Amino acid sequence: MENLGSILEGILFVSGEPVAIADITAKIDVTKLQVEKAAKQLQEKYNSASGINLLIFNDKLQFSSNPKFAEEVSSVLNPIRQRNLTKSTMETASIIAYKQPITRSEIEEIRGVSCDYAINLLLEHKLIEIVGRKDTVGHPALFGTTDEFLKRFDISSISDLPDYNQMLEDIKKINQKLQDDALYNNFKVEEVSEEELDHKLKTIANDLDDNNQLTESEFIDPNGNMQDYDSDNDAIL
């Protein structure tokens, strides 16, 4: 279909919500491959300089604003879904993304703290949803990520997330480097010349003598009297 790109633009503009490619092919005499090709051409049209992006995820299409201009758009519209998520909420979202479907208690076991607020905030933002119930006592809710999650983090599918084990290994390496740098910066050995070293040693020795009050050349006899001591001849003078 020659004008398929323009038709897709109209559908996505009016919808404002994700539109499944299957819904398009079911109503219009086109194939999935044709829709995907037209969508890719639209993505090139709405390039990085445009204020609009075309998102393709989970076999769905949707228009969105360009993240490059999020600050300006937000300053005018201030949509709730553009609010920054807290660190704890991001940690919870990451656990759900990698471990889904997962229960609230399982998330808390991994994080070691309560995550009620984080889960409620993620649900409010439609970044996660209840995807089922676990077949255990109480049948707790199982949480999984949504299409909104994919859009928010600009990925096509969960499979696009970095490999979990590799990511943990990279984090360990980064943390180790930070620790090594901190140790190096805080406890860096200062190079000194032999003369400076000899002077420092003599200073330390003198300080010790002053603190101990008695030098190796002094001795107190059994009556409590101070006597001079000749260390070479092992005799009291």
We report the CATH number of the domain holding residue 29 as 1.10.10.10
Domain that holds residue 91: 80-156
Q: Are 101 and 94 in contact (CB under 8 A)?
A: no
| Residue 138, pLDDT score | 84
Q: Are 12 and 62 in contact (CB under 8 A)?
A: yes
Same domain for 100 and 63: no
| Residue 186, pLDDT score | 57
Same domain for 85 and 135: yes
Q: Is residue 215 part of a domain?
A: yes
Is 70 exceeded by the pLDDT of residue 187?
A: no
Dist CA 77 CA 73 (whole Å): 6
Asked whether the whole model's pTM tops 0.75, one would answer no
Same domain for 61 and 91: no
Q: Are 89 and 121 in contact (CB under 8 A)?
A: yes
Q: Which residues, in sequence order, are bridge partners of residue 188?
A: none
The number of domains in the chain is: 3
Residue 36: pLDDT band with limits 50, 70, 90:
very high
Same domain for 51 and 12: yes
Same domain for 46 and 10: yes
Is 80 exceeded by the pLDDT of residue 200?
A: no
Distances in whole angstroms, Cα of residue 201 to Cα of each of 149, 187, 192, 209: 64, 20, 12, 12
74 Cβ contact list (under 8 Å, min separation 6): 82
Q: Are 60 and 21 in contact (CB under 8 A)?
A: yes
